[in-house]
Amino acid sequence: MSVVQRQAPHPRELLELMTFKKPVLNGRRRRLEAALTIHDLRAIAKRRTPAAAFDYTDGAADGEISIQRARQAFLDVEFHPSILRDATRADTSCTVLGGSSALPFGIAPTGFTRLMQTEGETAGAGAAGAAGIPFTLSTLGTTSIEDVKAANPTGRNWFQLYVMRQREISYGLVERAAAAGFDTLFFTVDTPVAGARLRDKRNGFSIPPQLSLRTVLDTATRPWWWWDFLTTPTLEFASLSSTGGTVGELLNSAMDPSISYDDLEVIRSMWPGKLVIKGVQNVEDSKHLADLGVDGIVLSNHGGRQLDRAPVPFHLLPEVVREVGADIEVMVDTGIMDGADVVASIALGAKFTLIGRAYLYGLMAGGRPGVDRAIAILREQVERTMRLLQVSELAELGPQHVTQLQRFAPRVLGECSPGSRTDAGIFGAGAVGLHRVSR
């Protein structure tokens, strides 16, 4: 039996076998470099942001079932890679709404953004411009249309519009966005009234903030947030004449539940660029909008922040693309937390995707560098997923690459006796089945 000869290691040999990582002295850079996923950025954001502001971003309506289902839908994707294809590169560029984007996702409109972190939309627009992707400013944004243009002077800026009770406010925003060179208008149609955002009510999240002993104690452990909040320009909302009350109260006072297709026609006559309808949640509305000749639709349930238990946009995608994909550009949002979610959406026919919370987690974690990090994480995940699927361009992705695993199917009422083994009986109780989709 052979015996391994042992000897004391020579110091020079030890140095050749191992290297010590140089310490990163900059705290923000250190924590952002350690974040490898959007979930990592979320964890940092939760540590660094007062509960009321974090929960406004992180939360949804009522029992938050819609956002849970939307994220689960992406987790229930099964990929089908090809083999023996050139995976040397992955071209993530695309054309959407008449212009280019370096990645198949852009930044979605988010309201009250500077409450999350003081750089707000300026950080988002600047990061989007640097990455070569579109940035969307919300009607309820906390940075003016003109300042967003200044932050992203050569990039693509989009504007999201609510039609409000005071129509002249909405019309004025449309005119300002057009004058500033924004190329696309998102007309949001899923907010006749505000959803029941219970976290905000419990936290007393309002403009201005409603302080209690609990909120004071919570914010006392995050003095940097208060320093930023108190030493930077006062929050301004270009679309609101009054800023007192909870977010839900502000929305209900500003929004008009009587908006109709007549309003769509008025806005369409005013807007010179591309027009997209955001908040579409069924096939019939998609077909009607296609017949009206709009440029695009966003399948969205508002990030689960309006009607809880609303349809999952990613589930709607294949059928909507099959019905109208040849006529209008179909986009999707809600629940995207990974570049693989983006790839799955493109494979099932989406022209483009939008990220909201993912960008805000980065913003809260580290301001503009945090947004840059969020985009970089998603970019790396998109590229890696494409290369592992062995596709070189987005156009090569197709339904053959994705299976949507199905947890629930609608129960068919009145068509079978109790206990019969129909498809609805098999899948309606929550079993996991396979649902293959095709365009």
- As annotated, the binding site for glyoxylate includes 56, 162, 197, 302, 305
Antiparallel, parallel or unpaired: β 135-137 and 329-332: unpaired
pLDDT of residue 9: 74
> Which pair of structure tokens corresponds to residue 310?
């609303």
Active site residue 288: no
Residue 226 belongs to domain with CATH number: 3.20.20.70
Q: What is the residue range of 244's domain?
A: 27-401
| 176 and 163 Cβ atoms separated by less than 8 Å | no
Q: 361: which DSSP letter?
A: H
Q: Per the domain annotation, does 421 fall within a domain?
A: no
Q: Per the domain annotation, does 412 fall within a domain?
A: no
Ranges of the chain with pLDDT below 50: 416-439
How many domains is the chain built from? 1
Q: Per the domain annotation, does 171 fall within a domain?
A: yes
Q: Per the domain annotation, does 263 fall within a domain?
A: yes
| 220 and 52 Cβ atoms separated by less than 8 Å | no
Q: Per the domain annotation, does 227 fall within a domain?
A: yes
- As annotated, the binding site includes 56, 109-111, 138, 160, 162, 188, 197, 278, 300, 302, 305, 356-357
In which element (H, E) is residue 352 found?
strand 352-355
Q: Per the domain annotation, does 87 fall within a domain?
A: yes
Catalytic residue among 10, 288, 302, 315: 302
Beta bridge mates, 137: 159
- As annotated, the binding site for FMN includes 109-111, 138, 160, 188, 278, 300, 356-357
Cis peptide preceding 208, ω within 30 of 0: yes
pTM value is: 0.89
Q: Per the domain annotation, does 9 fall within a domain?
A: no
Q: Per the domain annotation, does 433 fall within a domain?
A: no
Q: Would you list the DSSP string of 391-421?
A: -SBGGG--GGGEEEEES-----TTSS-TT--
Q: 8: which DSSP letter?
A: P
